[in-house]
Amino acid sequence: MKAHVLLAFVTAAIAHMTPIGQTPTRGDRYTDRIPGTSVSFEMTYVGGGSFLFGSPAQEEGRGEDEGPRFQVEVSPFWVGVHEVTADEYAVFRNPLLDSDSTAIPGHTVAVDAVSRPSPPYEDPGHGLDEGRHPAVGMTQLGALRYARWLSEKTGRLYRLPTEAEWEYACRAGSMDPLGSIDPAALPEHAWFAENSDETHQPVGAREPNAWGVHDMLGNVAEWTLDEYRADFYGTLEDGAEDPWAQPTSVHPRTVRGGAFDDQAAQLRCADRLESTLRWKRRDPQIPKSRWWNTDSPHVGFRLVAPAGDWTLESIRAYWADVLPDGD
């Protein structure tokens, strides 16, 4: 399906769905639980709005792929307060931790029918792939498959953020390079080369941004929904609604946010990172794993949930377009 058609479907679905309870306001939160487990996660409402996408030409450290800037519109959404944790991803990885339970009355998801990550060549978390540490080392496909499984289990559409949504949540209403974060206070808000002990840290241990979102900058970089295109911004125009570089090939994809091994200068809301096949260089398998990158312990992901109430049918229609059969 063409990008504009899929985005029109998503936007129309949001517009015509009746919210559950009262209309949310920015800062509202809810906690969801993976059915059949005690594992839960928290989402916060950031709403929608208009902002300047990208960075100004004079911003220090700016890349040529961060412009030209345009005013874009993003539809209302919820964003994960934290990056997806190893405990959350473990339920997807290990069928022994999963169950047939769902949050949808009368609906089940057969454990044995779920396509799950194959065993990685090595521990993707390098000894820290557990508990409240972020889940890391998966390919974008591994992140997308998790989101599809979680959507089916919970009856709510969870997916990766687009680059525009990710940057909107990172900026938290500010157009400064670090969004709402004072550069002098960066060590209080982010794990990076200066304070991380050269590894990722448990989520939520640093202060959140002005919209209550933790670890948008630093700790681990985060997959987005977009294909990486250096010239993507040049294809937009002022007023573009929910821009998304819909993938047309397996590689490359866009990663945002910087990580524990980056210098402070690399932690900017507009900074874009192109995924690379070098992240698989030590994988000896032929063909190389579709689920794991042996050399990206610095990459994880967080989820968003479009505002509104999604039916199971509309959730499945969305994923049928994003992840066609065989992907």
For the four alpha carbons of 8, 303, 161 and 251, in that order, the dihedral sign comes to negative
Mean pLDDT of 196-200: 94
pLDDT value of position 141: 95
Under 8 Å between Cβ of 259 and 271: no
Does 51 have pLDDT greater than 90?
yes
Question: What single string gives the DSSP state of each residue in 157-225?
Answer: --BPPPHHHHHHHHHTT--STTTTS-GGGHHHH---TTTSTTS---TT-SPP-TTS---SSSSSEEEEE
Residues ≥6 apart with Cβ < 8 Å to 181: 189, 190, 209, 217
Delimit the domains of the chain by residue range.
3-322
Q: How confident is the model at residue 121 (pLDDT cuts 50, 70, 90)?
A: confident
**pTM of model > 0.95:** no
Does 153 have pLDDT greater than 60?
yes
Give, as one character, the DSSP assignment of residue 105.
T
For 308-322, b/e burial (b = at least 16 CB within 10 A) is bebeeebbebbbebb
Q: DSSP H helical segments within 2-111, as ranges?
A: 3-15, 86-93
Mean pLDDT of 296-301: 95
- pLDDT tens profile 255-287: 999 999 999 999 999 999 999 988 888 888 778
pLDDT value of position 286: 76
Q: How confident is the model at residue 2 (pLDDT cuts 50, 70, 90)?
A: very low
Mean pLDDT of 295-305: 96
**Distance, CA of 234 to CA of 27 (rounded, Å):** 33
What superfamily in CATH does domain 3-322 come from?
paralog of FGE (formylglycine-generating enzyme) (3.90.1580.10)
